[in-house]
Amino acid sequence: MSDVPAVFPFTEIIGQEDMKRALLLNVIDPGIGGVLIKGEKGTAKSTTVRSLDRVLPTRTVVDGCPFRCEYGRKDRYCPYCLEKLEKGEELRPVECRMKVVDLPLSATEDRVSGTLDLEHVLKTGTKRFEPGVLAAANGNILYVDEVNLLDDHLVDLLLDSAAMGVNYVEREGVSFSHPAKFVLIGTMNPEEGDLRPQLLDRFGLSLDIKGEKDVKKRAAIVKKRVEYDMDPEAFIARRVKDLESVTETIVKGKRLLPEVVADDSVIDMVVSVTTHFGIDGHRADITLLKAAKANAALEGRCTVTKDDIIATAELVLSHRLRRRPFEESGLDREELEQCLKDL
């Protein structure tokens, strides 16, 4: 794990279990649609997201591809890989670890999506593309801290690319596209402003987190952080087995996911919940089903149960609930369980 930068270990973060679960569910099934984490400063939002670096699994990609195309998935190959195949060249597989890619708030649209060298096109007739952040994010985690302060058009660009799995760039009638399948994770402090409702709905999961109030847990957090700051590498070295165990759980979950079964009764439960809480549209229904299946896979099961829906419903629905001004966000757990009681 020496190729991974020193970050506070994922396994040593005390509390914030919902946040950690939301992140792991998205790694197991990127189709869930990412997660938005809202909370006051100092609640370990950024630390937790960046700590994923040490527990993310490896993936098989095309050797030498600037977009790290998923090997063996021709439908997801970039133009360069497809061109090599057409020429009869062999594509070789190589293992690389997934990573967390940071998007700076100061990033321009060209920096995010990449740029086309129009002069090169005019001179040679061939396209030359300078990859951007979305190219680096392909197959990885794309993390945007203070996402609510990012320009709306950039948020739209990120969400569209995440939903389609493709980044499309056009300049002066010349176009280029490449795979951009990533998990979008955003963190924000609500005190600094909110996202537009239309953008909120595009995040698969969302949660509001608060600082730890328990005195003993707060003391434990302080002790762990002080110990880590004194010697980060030694601190991490003592947790290697725990970190590897999380990675193994993720790998098993990803392998198990295609086998997870959600029968008609589960779908009825999902629809009953979204209908009961007055959720508009069908995106929430689909996301809740995906999240429930990913939760079952995370826990090593092939069958979705009522408990999987209870474990993921608030993550899926909290930011989609209709609420009056100044009303606190969140889903009433008792009301949720009552809704599912007779199903």
What's the Cα-to-Cα distance from 269 to each of 10, 283, 333, 341, rounded to whole Å? 33, 15, 15, 10
In the chain, how many H helices and how many E strands? 15, 11
What's the Cα-to-Cα distance from 141 to each of 26, 135, 177, 234, 325, rounded to whole Å? 9, 12, 20, 26, 33
Q: Which two tokens mark 185?
A: 């994770």
| Angle at alpha carbon of residue 50, lines to 46 and 55, rounded to 5° | 140
Which of helix, strand or coil describes residue 290?
Answer: helix
| Beta bridge partners of residue 261, listed in sequence order | 303
283 flagged as catalytic: yes
CB 259 within 8 A of CB 294: no
DSSP, residue by residue, 223-252: HHHHHHHH-HHHHHHTTHHHHHHHHHHHHH
Cβ count within 10 A of residue 75 = 6
Which of 283, 320, 322, 333 is the catalytic position?
Answer: 283
Query: Token pair 């402003």 is at which residue?
Result: 193
Largest CA-CA distance found in the chain, in angstroms, rounded: 70
Rounded to whole angstroms, how far apart are CA atoms 210 and 203? 20
Q: Which two tokens mark 321?
A: 């609930």
Rounded to whole angstroms, how far apart are CA atoms 128 and 149? 32
Give phi and psi for 127, each to the nearest 5.
Answer: -85, 140
Q: Return the active site residues.
A: 283
